[in-house]
Amino acid sequence: MTIEKQIENIHSEIGSVLYNHRASYTNGMALRHLHSEQVAKYKFALSEHSAPEVLRISNCLAHIQYVTTTPECANFGTIETLLKLSESSEEFKTAYGILQPLINQLAALEADQAAANLAAGEAESKRRNAMDEAKAQAISAIEREFALPEPQPEQEPEKPFRGRGLKPALVTV
């Protein structure tokens, strides 16, 4: 069975999963992605707004409150709560158990297909380069074999000297 056919079969299996399970899985995975983005933004905000006095926790409370209210971090708690609710639901757990193995198989097959396409592209590129080189060599050989000799520039015949009886070698200026 070809990779394309296997990918098509997995897409068909994913399509046959209940809509509610697919929706729950998609929402949960989107929340995971959003949560990971928010974690990165929160870490960046903490590194960008360093503590005013290191090791003085009581003096840093206002700083931490400020950092948590920045636009990068404002929704962090809400997203984290929604993620925990989503991941703890039975519907998400069931959907994850059904869909994640299919998604993993699909990702592996698509990676195999990409590798096969890359290998085929490289082989095609090598074939074309070899053909171009062979063509250039053939053209060069034909040009060498059937090349016309280089024309020699014509030399003008010497004209006789028409001086007044002097020979050209004796003329001085």
C-alpha 53/C-alpha 67 separation (Å) is 15
- 168 pLDDT more than 60: no
- The predicted pLDDT at position 170 comes to 53
For the ranges 5-9, 69-73, 125-129, the lowest mean pLDDT is seen at 69-73
Higher pLDDT, 78 or 124: 124
Q: What is the pLDDT of residues 51-102, one digit of tens each?
A: 777 777 887 888 788 877 877 677 888 888 999 999 999 999 999 999 999 9
pLDDT level of residue 46 (50, 70, 90 thresholds) = confident
Residue 80 exposed, middle or buried by CB count within 10 Å (0-12, 13-18, 19+): middle
Whether 25 contacts 92, CB under 8 Å? yes
Q: Report how far apart, in Å, the C-alpha atoms of 51 and of each of 68, 69, 76, 154 are.
A: 13, 15, 20, 91
- The predicted pLDDT at position 42 comes to 81
- The predicted pLDDT at position 143 comes to 84
- What are the residues whose beta carbons fall under 8 Å from the beta carbon of 87, sequence distance 6 or more? 28, 31, 32, 93
- The predicted pLDDT at position 52 comes to 73
Every domain of the chain and the residues it spans: 9-143
- The predicted pLDDT at position 160 comes to 64
pLDDT level of residue 36 (50, 70, 90 thresholds) = very high
Whether 34 contacts 79, CB under 8 Å? yes
